[in-house]
Amino acid sequence: MPRINWQNLPLWKRKKLEDRVRSREISASDLLRLKDWIASNPEVPEKEWCKDFGSFKVVGKGSEPATFLTANQPCWGEKIE
């Protein structure tokens, strides 16, 4: 299973994700949960996946996160814990 390589995301993708964080209502505690999850170097499926943090969700495919969703938006792909 792949692992997310947050440090090597293309600049345009990093900017897109940062913009999404700024434009969404994301709680500080959920941002800390994201930070801890990233620090754990999690394995993710090679196919599409979704991780729910409560006030937002992260959706990706393989080792690349694709976007942040609001809590109300539906996930797609394999839900991961």
Q: Which residues pair with 23 in a beta bridge?
A: none
Q: Report pLDDT digits (tens) over 33-59.
A: 998 999 999 999 999 999 999 999 999
Q: Give residue 59's pLDDT.
A: 95
Measure the CA–CA gap between 47 and 60, rounded to whole angstroms. Answer: 8
Check residue 7 and give its pLDDT.
Answer: 82
User: Which residues have CB under 8 Å from 58's CB, separation 6+?
Assistant: 34, 50, 51, 65, 67, 68, 69
Supply the pTM of this predicted model.
0.83
